[in-house]
Amino acid sequence: MDKSLYKNIWVYVETTEDGIAKVSLELLSEARKIADAAAEKLVAVLVGSDLDAAVETVCDSGVDEVIVVDAKTYQTYSTDAYTFVFAQLCKKYKPSVLFMGATDNGKDFAPRLACRLNTGAIADTTELYYNPETKDVEWTKPAFGGNLMATIVCDETRPQIGTIRRGVFKIMPAEKKQDVVITQEDIATPQEMIRTLVKEVIAEKATKDIKIEDAEVIVAIGRGVKEQEQTAMFAELAEMLGGALAVTRPLVDKEWYTAKCQIGQSGKMVSPKLYIGCGISGAVQHTAGMCSSDVIVAINTDASAPIFGVADYAVVGDMFEVVPALIDELKKIRQ
Amino acid sequence: MNILVCVKQVPDTEEIKIDPITGSLIREGVAAILNPLDACALEAAVRLKEAYGGKVTVLSMGPPQAKEALKQCVAVGADEAVLITDRAFKDADTLATSYALSMTAKQLGEFDVIVCGKHTLDGETGQVGPQIAEHMDWSQVTHVMDMKVEEGKLVAVREMEDGREVVEATLPCVASVTKASYTPRYPTIKSKLAAGKKEILTLSADEIKNLDKERIGMSGSRTKVAKSFSAPTGQAGMVIQEETGEATGRKLARILHEAKLV
Ligand SMILES: Cc1cc2nc3c(=O)[nH]c(=O)nc-3n(C[C@H](O)[C@H](O)[C@H](O)COP(=O)(O)OP(=O)(O)OC[C@H]3O[C@@H](n4cnc5c(N)ncnc54)[C@H](O)[C@@H]3O)c2cc1C
Ligand SMILES: Nc1ncnc2c1ncn2[C@@H]1O[C@H](COP(=O)(O)O)[C@@H](O)[C@H]1O
């Protein structure tokens, strides 16, 4: 395969009823850097129905081109239709890279598409690097339960396809490009090709709680909390900082919290402005999910706890004494 | 129903240690286990068999030791077990793995459903299931937490990020399952004994019909691991520790306030 025939960095911009998936905007920011490093164009690809508003937003996020496939068929996701559309687009335009969010749907069709195009797929990446010498993207992802990071390349075939976990890249303010080229593509997937049908969507009860992956401040608690009643003060701290409460896996295993609140390798990746970890030892499976936070505060009685290795502020002390005083002092300062 | 379950033997990641100097995995003495989500996949398959009758076959690609994992599957409800093992399969990425598994599936018979786990503990990609579906040219459903057959279709409940989805898929279908409701059953002493005696069909690459050798192992892989290293640990930051926890808390508040973090 002649790799040089393949150009441009594509991002699949996923849309839901609530608009553009945040991970897609995160990806556009990161992919911009890669496109600049490769001196190639950044192209956003949207597939769905009624995409006008989304296209407008995407045009403001630093892309050079937008490709839109807008039809009723694509309103609800199906593996077959989305694989078909992307296979057609890739054959026609020959992108060098296709990035997508590691969402339920992204992870569902990315591998299938790669298989159809006989190329490589990389899942759940948390770091990207464009190697100017080889002109390959180097995709780094956790493996072996987060014990190891592996850097993977797809160095012989194109496009390079991969999913990227949410929350690992920050959305940067972008300079809007002049004359963004918008191309509408008419691709009809034959109905008989679509072998699945969504019969019912059972949405989770809407909660007013901030999702941890969206929160700017996170108070995280771990097994240092022994009784469920003790969690109240941490919830209070999270609330007064306008943030969310998150947990380590043992507290999910105890069924005190759902997996939606779990940070880490088998939970969510978060990168808030401020992370305060209380009674958390700092196992790699946990730190893999929070080490890209801007500022990390860790409170632990054990001065040798591994979490202090990634902390900006290593607070050594009993959190049941530290946190009430912290809350009280913050109240005083605010008055 | 004729059901195939793809299972992999993986190192127990709870036990894995990293060599602090080389940054590589210390595999010695680390137990190999049946990938936990593949145990759930098997459980899902056995429940389908119990509901609709039929047969469950387990298939693995791996070294000869992987027979252990297959025996474990036989002890909890698999009727047949197949291991494809050959040096030629080594260093396969998901594309090459799924190709080898799908070619074996085609040889083993006509299946209605192939069940996979959502992902493995070692590779953690979750790609093999969808790629088997592509090689077979079948429908696929991922994140399955429950499934049944209705009017010749597979009706599956998918566990999604923010809710659930009920999806109907044509058969044959590849389903990859999550843990949620598929808690694996325990073997009995009797079933364990019987499994120990069970003959495991072992196939080499040459014994799989029409297998294109260029598409397996390293040569069939489209991705490769350029390097691996242990997860980063950063520089230790500023230590805050006063006489009492209370004083520590108050000091922390002032520091965070001055740094304009709160
Ligand atoms: C495949 C795999 C995936 C995993 N995925 C995840 C994941 O996604 N997320 C995750 O979090 N874990 C995950 N784990 C589990 C992980 O390995 C650890 O077991 C877990 O993170 C430990 O949680 P912890 O820090 O809350 O508990 P512990 O390790 O028990 O630490 C408790 C800490 O609290 C401190 N402490 C106790 N009392 C106090 C007090 N009064 N004041 C202050 N400090 C106190 C102790 O000194 C200790 O450091 C995974 C494991 C595996 C094998
Ligand atoms: N070597 C293998 N042999 C049999 N099944 C496998 C193998 N590798 C992966 N699988 C199946 O594919 C699923 C997803 O694996 P992975 O893509 O590696 O995360 C696993 O849960 C298994 O069901």
Smallest Cβ–Cβ distance between A291 and the set B126, B143, B232 belongs to B232
CA distance B200 to chain A (A): 28
CB interface of A with B, residues 103-122, below 8 Å: 103-104, 107-112, 114-116, 118-122
Average pLDDT of chain B?
93
B241 burial type by CB count under 10 A (0-12 exposed, 13-18 middle, 19+ buried): middle
- The average pLDDT across A195-222 equals 87
For chain A, how far is it from start to end, CA to CA, in angstroms?
67
Residue of B252, B254, B255, B260 for testing the chain A interface, max A β-carbons within 10 Å: B252
- A166 within 8 A of A22, measured Cβ to Cβ: yes
Give the CA diameter of chain A.
67
Q: For residue A249, is pLDDT > 60?
A: yes
Residue of B223, B224, B229, B257 for testing the chain A interface, max A β-carbons within 10 Å: B223
- The average pLDDT across A171-200 equals 94
Instruction: Give the integer Cα–Cα distance in Å for A2 and B185.
Output: 51
**What amino acid is encoded at A159 in this protein?**
P
DSSP per-residue codes, B183-220: PPPPPPHHHHHHHHH---EEE-GGGSTT--GGGSTTTT
Q: Please report which confidence band the pLDDT of residue B235 belongs to, taking 50, 70 and 90 as the band edges.
A: low
B185-231 pLDDT tens trace: 999 999 999 999 999 999 999 999 999 999 999 999 999 999 988 76
A276-315 pLDDT tens trace: 999 999 998 899 899 889 999 999 999 999 999 899 999 9
Instruction: Give the integer Cα–Cα distance in Å for B72 and B75.
Output: 5
Q: For residue B105, is pLDDT > 60?
A: yes
pLDDT of residue A6: 98
Q: For residue A170, is pLDDT > 90?
A: no
Q: For residue B252, is pLDDT > 60?
A: yes
- The average pLDDT across B232-243 equals 78
Identify the CATH number of the domain defined by range A212-334: 3.40.50.1220
A317-333 pLDDT tens trace: 999 999 999 999 999 99
- A261 within 8 A of A203, measured Cβ to Cβ: no
B4 inside 8 A of chain A by CB = no
Give the DSSP H/E element, type plus range, for residue B252.
helix B245-258
- The average pLDDT across A256-263 equals 92
**For A317, which residue in chain B has the nearest alpha carbon?**
B245
pLDDT of residue B1: 96
SS3 annotation, A265-306: CCCECCCCCEEEEECCCCCHHHHCCCCCCCEEEEEECCCCCH
- A161 within 8 A of A119, measured Cβ to Cβ: yes
pLDDT of residue A17: 85
pLDDT of residue B21: 66
Identify the CATH number of the domain defined by range A3-193: 3.40.50.620
- A101 within 8 A of A27, measured Cβ to Cβ: yes
Please report the domains of chain B, with CATH numbers, ordered by start residue. 2-215 (3.40.50.620), 238-262 (no CATH)
Q: Which of these, A187, A215, A169, lies nearest to A61 by C-alpha position?
A: A169
pLDDT of residue A233: 97
Question: For residue A120, how many C-alpha atoms fall within 13 Å in the half-sphere facing its CB?
Answer: 25
Q: Please report which confidence band the pLDDT of residue A168 belongs to, taking 50, 70 and 90 as the band edges.
A: confident
| Residue ranges covered by each domain of chain A | 3-193, 212-334
pLDDT of residue A207: 61
Average pLDDT of chain A?
94
pLDDT of residue B91: 93
Q: Please report which confidence band the pLDDT of residue B236 belongs to, taking 50, 70 and 90 as the band edges.
A: low
Instruction: Give the integer Cα–Cα distance in Å for A40 and B206.
Output: 45
pTM equals 0.85
- Contact assignment for B223 to A120 by CB distance below 8 Å: yes
Q: Which of these, B173, B182, B6, lies nearest to A197 by C-alpha position?
A: B173
Q: For residue A36, is pLDDT > 60?
A: yes
Q: For residue B159, is pLDDT > 80?
A: yes
**For B154, which residue in chain A has the nearest alpha carbon?**
A196
B37 lines ligand 2 (CB under 6 A): yes
B116 lines ligand 2 (CB under 6 A): yes
B131 lines ligand 2 (CB under 6 A): no
Question: In degrees rounded to 5, what are phi and psi of residue B205?
Answer: -60, -40
Q: Which of these, A199, A212, A200, lies nearest to A246 by C-alpha position?
A: A212
